[in-house]
Amino acid sequence: MPERMQRLKKLLALQEQLKAMHELRHAGFVSQSIAAKKEAEELVERFNAEDSLSGLFPDVYHRGIGSALSREDASRKAASNEAGKVATATVRTNMVERNYREARSAYERERGDRERLEIIGQRPKKPPEGR
């Protein structure tokens, strides 16, 4: 296998790992955003509940709700940023994969041509027909 093909194969594996890492990070940020939103909703429900201590400690509830909402916003922004990185990694992976397939096809064609030439070269030559 030519050196270029080996390098492209390694680069393709690396790009796929990088893409998977960004996809994993994106999923993590989305999950964090959802969890923070759920936490804020639960705090609001407890704040509005009849048997709540929100009348005694409204600042605690407000800070908790504000903190959860800011974490949700930060996680959503980070997820959006990571989605951009996933798109970039996907494009790069596709480009490297296309180059690898082209190099592999060219190598296979050259190898097939060499084999055919060897077969042609091994054929015994017919003696010229005498008249």
Per-residue pLDDT tens digits for 53-69: 777 888 988 999 999 99
Q: What is the pLDDT of residue 130?
A: 62
The H or E element that residue 51 is part of is none
Q: CB 68: neighbour CB atoms within 10 A?
A: 20
State the pLDDT at residue 50: 83
Entry pTM: 0.75
pLDDT at 131 over 60: no
For residue 123, what is the DSSP state? Answer: S
Task: State the pLDDT confidence band at 118, using cuts at 50, 70 and 90.
Answer: confident
Q: Which of the pair, 49 or 16, is modelled with greater confidence?
A: 16
For the residues 11-34, what does the mean pLDDT come to? 97
- Token couple for 89: 């990694």
CA distance 4 to 9: 9
Q: Tell me the pLDDT of the chain averaged across its residues.
A: 91
